[in-house]
Amino acid sequence: MVELKVVKRGFQVNLSPHQVAFHLKHADMHCPTFIVVQYSPAGKTAAGELLVYSGDQVMDVHKLGVKAEPLARWPWLGVQWQMVKQVLLTGESVDD
């Protein structure tokens, strides 16, 4: 399962209590989930990033927003989609 989020202002990733609970429950059951965030500081897409978090990082993402350390990140205009796919399939960080 992949949760998709967009952050255009600030650093906070808007996750509801239900979404947090979902990721925690599935992490406890060793079922992989991910939170993929398109982060565009001040709404500037060209300066943005794509951030991939594991579902077991949901508490850090909920508290720290995009300041939480992701599994992987790419500049929005240079996203390497094959590497995104690899992260989602393996749940492991990749070297750029």
74 within a domain of the structure (yes/no):
yes
3-state secondary structure (DSSP) of residue 43: helix
- Domain assignment present for residue 95? The answer is no
Among all chains, which residue has been given the structure tokens 């790419």?
Answer: 74
Express each pLDDT in 67-81 by its tens digit: 999 999 999 888 989
- Does the residue 69 lie in any domain? yes
What pTM, to 2 d.p., does this model score? 0.89
Has residue 95 got a pLDDT over 80?
no
Phi–psi pair at 39, nearest 5 degrees: -105, 120
Asked, for residue 96, whether it belongs to a domain, the answer is no
What's residue 33's pLDDT? 96
What's the mean per-residue pLDDT of the chain?
A: 92
Task: Measure the CA–CA gap between 3 and 33, rounded to whole angstroms.
Answer: 8
> How many domains in the chain?
1
Residue 37: count other Cβ atoms within 10 Å of its Cβ: 23
| Backbone φ and ψ of 37, nearest 5° | -120, 130
**Which domain range does residue 29 map to?**
2-90
**Is there a domain that residue 20 lies in?**
yes
Residues 72-93: what's their mean pLDDT? 91
